[in-house]
């Protein structure tokens, strides 16, 4: 049966308009301006009705699986269900769960060990139909880890894998190009200064050696696969050139304006962190995502480590000069959909999947009233 949602501020490709949306069978059937008087029409009281958000890189699942240092939750599916619910109530209807393949912070990084159970939990949840939203897998390949090949091998061919990122957290480059800042960070995390210095020296040595071997290995595996490749933390124009040569389509979280400009000019989709927008800058000293948006070199936002930040970032971008509300929403809807090859979602238009979120802003804070995936209310 058709469901008619009316008196809604519809977030369309080119404007926000008061109107009516009709959907049936999981698909949007019709859009029209004005308020419907048809019997059974649901009055949304002037709330925004936006396309469901598309999240390409979130660490949130790992937070539920390893909620505290040294603690691994014994039920991976329960952790995945909690993550799924949080993403849904944040307005996300399609998520690429980023799973860390390898590790770099400490020698016994727990993320090395929870990868197999988390990947299996996501596959189980999808197969059993217990998730609220659509889940895909994003493999974050840590090139600086000497054990990367053996940790990656069991996950080759998983049907849910849709995105692979090439990450290199070797101290002295990219996100951690300032080694002194990284050392201060490690000390704040509880390491003694001498221990931090010794660990940094070891990571620098092993990272350079491992990345030289792992980069061509990963590229050989995925270069011709129907999977998007992303370069992570591009800092220089040389990094971008390397990404282009490697066949990457995405530049995730470039740390400098120069890298973002180069990536945009080269045709790579530039992804920035929504928490960066909300906080007014990067926590690691990188370029401000809002500056990328004003410069016209931003293509998509990712909630990264705070699921609710996507809608907050949309609101913040739309409050400033030069970016309209529908344009701000596009950074979390239509643009990531295009970037990831998802032709059936990310827009409110006839024939598109009926993924949408009803919300309003209260004192600049987004308040989600409901979320629907393929026409079914999930939050």
Nearest to 101 by CA among 160, 164, 175: 164
Average pLDDT over every residue of 212-228:
91
Q: Which two tokens stand for residue 56?
A: 């390409």
State pLDDT tens for residues 63-111: 999 998 788 999 999 999 999 999 999 999 999 999 999 876 545 666 6
The values of phi and psi at residue 10, to 5°, are -80, 125
| Separation CA 228–CA 220 (nearest Å) | 14
Per-residue pLDDT band for 203 (boundaries 50, 70, 90) equals: confident
Q: What is the pLDDT of residue 110?
A: 65
Q: What is the pLDDT of residue 68?
A: 87
Prediction pTM value: 0.92
Q: Which two tokens stand for residue 354?
A: 């009926």
Average pLDDT, the chain: 92
Of the candidate ranges 248-262, 282-296, 306-320, 331-345, the one whose mean pLDDT is the lowest: 282-296
State pLDDT tens for residues 325-356: 999 999 999 999 999 999 999 999 999 999 99
End-to-end CA separation in angstroms for the chain: 20
At CB < 8 A and 24+ separation, what contacts does 176-183 make? 176/284, 177/235, 177/255, 178/285, 179/204, 181/284, 181/285
Q: What is the pLDDT of residue 113?
A: 78
Strand partners, 2: none
Q: Which residues contact 98 (CB under 8 A, 6 or more apart)?
A: 57, 58, 59, 61, 62, 138, 140, 165
Q: Which two tokens stand for residue 346?
A: 């990310």
Cβ(104)–Cβ(233) under 8 Å?
no
Q: What is the pLDDT of residue 183?
A: 66
Per-residue DSSP letter, 153: G
The SS3 call for residue 351 is coil
Per-residue DSSP letter, 85: H
Q: What is the pLDDT of residue 178?
A: 66
The values of phi and psi at residue 56, to 5°, are -100, -15
Per-residue pLDDT band for 146 (boundaries 50, 70, 90) equals: confident
Domain 52-344: which CATH class? Answer: alpha beta
Domain ranges of the chain: 52-344
Q: How far is CA 113 from CA 52, 63, 75, 96, 330, in A?
A: 32, 14, 14, 20, 36
């Amino acid at each position: 049966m058709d469901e008619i949602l009316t008196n809604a501020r519809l977030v369309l490709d080119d404007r926000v308009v008061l109107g009516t949306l009709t959907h049936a069978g999981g698909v949007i059937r019709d859009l029209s301006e004005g308020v419907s008087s048809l019997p059974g029409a649901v009055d949304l009281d002037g709330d925004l009705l936006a396309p469901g958000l598309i999240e390409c890189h979130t660490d949130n699942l790992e937070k539920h699986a390893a909620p505290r240092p040294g603690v691994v939750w014994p039920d991976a599916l329960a952790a995945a269900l909690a993550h799924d619910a949080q993403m849904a109530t944040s307005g996300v209807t399609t998520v690429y769960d980023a799973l860390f393949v390898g590790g770099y912070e400490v020698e016994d990084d727990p993320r090395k060990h929870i990868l197999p159970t988390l990947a299996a939990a996501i596959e189980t949840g999808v197969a059993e139909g217990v998730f609220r939203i659509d889940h895909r897998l994003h493999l974050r390949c840590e090139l600086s880890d000497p054990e990367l090949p053996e940790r990656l091998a069991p996950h080759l061919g998983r049907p849910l894998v849709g995105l692979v990122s090439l990450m290199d957290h070797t101290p002295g480059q990219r996100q951690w190009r300032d080694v002194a800042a990284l050392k201060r960070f490690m000390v704040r995390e509880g390491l003694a200064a001498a221990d931090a210095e010794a660990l940094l020296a070891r990571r620098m040595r092993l990272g350079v050696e491992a990345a030289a071997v792992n980069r061509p290995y990963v590229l050989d595996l995925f270069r011709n696969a129907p999977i998007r490749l992303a370069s992570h933390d591009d800092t220089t124009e040389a990094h971008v050139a390397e990404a282009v040569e490697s066949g990457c389509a995405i530049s995730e979280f470039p740390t400098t304006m120069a890298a973002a400009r180069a990536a945009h000019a080269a045709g790579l989709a530039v992804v920035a962190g929504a928490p960066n927008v909300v906080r007014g800058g990067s926590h690691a000293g990188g370029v401000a995502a809002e500056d990328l948006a004003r410069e016209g070199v931003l293509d998509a936002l990712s909630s990264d480590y705070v699921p609710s930040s996507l809608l907050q970032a949309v609101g913040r971008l739309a409050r400033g000069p030069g970016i309209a509300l529908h344009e701000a929403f596009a950074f979390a809807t239509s643009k990531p959909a295009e970037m990831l090859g998802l032709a059936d979602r990310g827009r409110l238009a006839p024939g598109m999947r009926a993924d949408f979120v009803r919300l309003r802003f209260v004192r600049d804070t987004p308040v989600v009233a409901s979320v629907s995936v393929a026409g079914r209310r999930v939050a």
